[in-house]
Structure 1
Amino acid sequence: MTGSWITLLLLLGTTDGFLNGRIARCVFNSTRPEDIQYIDSYFYNKLELMRFDSNVGKYVGYTEFGVNQAKRANNNPAILENERLAKDRVCVHNIQIWNTGILSKSVEPYAVIHTASSGGSERVLVCSVYGFFPKHLTVTWTNNQQQISTGVSNSETMPDQDWTYQRHSHLEYTPRSGDQISCVVEHISLKEPLILDYEGGLSDGDRNKVAIGASGLVLGLVLSLAGFIYYRHKSRGLILVPTH
């Protein structure tokens, strides 16, 4: 589990239309204190001037003004100690509550496999996964239960308006006899992986090619049969004249 929780948003005021702001947040990948990072950032006109980072243990400046302010804050033991204690006060104290009440909630994904247009002989398979929460999700492709490592590309995980996410994985694939292509989806909400098998149905272009080929074959057989019948009919009416 990886999370980032904004714990405080405090607007300090404006100066000639420019906004001053301060954002404190907790970044974590578990509820253990050593896996929690507290960051307290100061902004002016959307530009971060300086921040306190619990992993660093002091203020760091990002502009000339921010560097000077960070130096002053680091030389003030009371300010520095207050920020160092904020990790326990703000993050460690609350993360278990957030994890139980919010982050542990999950929504199962649903997925579909479809084909996309390709300029060459290869077929592009797309595994589209929708409606899942939280964000982290893994999509892999297998052939006869063996993971495919080439020809695979994945989109970014994209948010939807209902707070769920979607993701799309592409596989460039050349159909061969005996293949069993599957899309495997893994997510925290699933007790076991979601596996979708590609049925190997022909695309519209392939269907057209097969239909044209079959039509040509049938037409050729009909013409051959007609020629044979005509030849047999003519040969029966032919009178042979012996020559000496």
Structure 2
Amino acid sequence: MDFLDFSCFHLVLIFSLHGVVYSSDGDFAEMKARCRAKNKNDIEYLEETYFNNKKFIVYNTTKGIWTGYTPHGTQLASQFNAEPLSHATKTAAKDILCVANVEALYSFLQNFTYKPLVKLRSVESRGTKNSAMLVCSAYDFYPKTIIITWLKNGQVMTSNLTSTEELANGDWSHQIHSHLEYTPTPGERITCMVEHISLTEPQLYDWDPSMTNSEKNRIVTGASGMLLGLVFATAGLIFYRKKCTGLVQVPINDMGDSTDEMD
């Protein structure tokens, strides 16, 4: 397998056969037979021939024609396109090399994938006072190719976005962080959409603006202050009660009587 990637929100698999033929005078021809699958039902077979590292002629089952890239290659392409047997041969090659192996390849890859752990949070924005910054982070996924897309009310957002490259965690897993700076509008829905080979369908994570991180921090701070105040109030009450319990009350009348007797 030469390549594993996402394209246009679909998985693209490419695996190929590769052969090189050398001549006695130093020239060489190179042939690559490739399968590309966006899904199990959308499979393409390509057969590419190069001469001395220059693309010479290509057959594509999606287009159903040969295409030449040099004068001689263009001449051969015209001849091959006029032969029905040439097309039938390439269709058979697609069935044998591609269609028969895609199902097994998908099953094999599924055994070596790990789903991303996604967290959506708000951070302090460096823009205007009215702007906000959201971060959509995906952790511990494999393989590393992943797509993070921001949606506003279901529509793809394309501006004010920044993303890190897929970062290796030091083991087989990866992480990535995508930032969105936007101006909040009442009633809007901001969504982080994550696509990965380990997921059977895109996962959607809606941002809940009802409580931002700063608001949560203020609530925690306020609760901590209330708790601290309650502790001090309780301690003061206990101290006061103990102090009151330790006082000795002296009857005033008895003291007066005692004075008279002494006189």
Alignment TM-score, normalising by the size of structure 2:
0.55
- Structure 1 distance, partners of 2:189, 2:23, is 59
User: Which residue in 2 is equivalent to 1:153?
Assistant: 161
3-state SS of the aligned residue for 1:108?
Answer: coil
1:118 aligned onto 2:140: no
CA deviations 1:130-160 (Å, max 9, x no partner) are 4434645444367xxx668666536497585
1:170 aligned onto 2:179: yes
Q: Tell me, yes or no, if the aligned pair for 2:45 and 2:98 is still in contact at 8 Å.
A: yes
3-state SS of the aligned residue for 2:75?
Answer: helix
- Counterpart AA for 2:40: T
3-state SS of the aligned residue for 2:106?
Answer: helix
1:200 aligned onto 2:217: no
Q: Tell me, yes or no, if the aligned pair for 2:56 and 2:69 is still in contact at 8 Å.
A: yes
User: Which residue in 1 is equivalent to 2:81?
Assistant: 74
% identical equivalent positions: 25
- Counterpart AA for 1:201: S
Q: Tell me, yes or no, if the aligned pair for 2:148 and 2:178 is still in contact at 8 Å.
A: no
1:30 aligned onto 2:43: no
- Counterpart AA for 1:49: F
Q: Tell me, yes or no, if the aligned pair for 2:123 and 2:213 is still in contact at 8 Å.
A: no
- Counterpart AA for 1:140: W
* Structure whose alpha-carbon radius of gyration is higher: 2
1:140 aligned onto 2:150: yes
Decide whether aligned partners of structure 1 residues 29 and 164 sit closer, same or farther in structure 2, where only a CA change above 3 A counts: farther
- Structure 1 distance, partners of 2:29, 2:111, is 34
Task: Select the residue among 5, 8, 13 that pairs with 2:22.
Answer: 13
Decide whether aligned partners of structure 1 residues 117 and 154 sit closer, same or farther in structure 2, where only a CA change above 3 A counts: closer
- Structure 1 distance, partners of 2:95, 2:60, is 13
- Counterpart AA for 2:37: F
User: Which residue in 2 is equivalent to 1:58?
Assistant: 65
**Larger CA deviation: 95-104 vs 73-82:** 73-82
1:88 deviates by 0.8
1:66 deviates by 2.1
- Counterpart AA for 1:8: L
1:8 deviates by 0.6
- Structure 1 distance, partners of 2:106, 2:100, is 11
- Counterpart AA for 1:87: K
Gaps of 5+ in 2: 1-9, 216-263
Q: Tell me, yes or no, if the aligned pair for 2:191 and 2:204 is still in contact at 8 Å.
A: no
1:9 deviates by 1.4
1:98 deviates by 0.8
- Counterpart AA for 2:141: F
1:37 deviates by 1.2
- Structure 1 distance, partners of 2:207, 2:45, is 41
Gaps of 5+ in 1: 203-244
User: Which residue in 2 is equivalent to 1:184?
Assistant: 192
Task: Select the residue among 28, 43, 49 that pairs with 1:42.
Answer: 49
1:88 aligned onto 2:95: yes
- Structure 1 distance, partners of 2:78, 2:192, is 52
1:101 deviates by 1.4
Q: Tell me, yes or no, if the aligned pair for 2:125 and 2:181 is still in contact at 8 Å.
A: no
- Counterpart AA for 1:82: T
Alignment TM-score, normalising by the size of structure 1:
0.58
- Structure 2 distance, partners of 1:69, 1:86, is 20
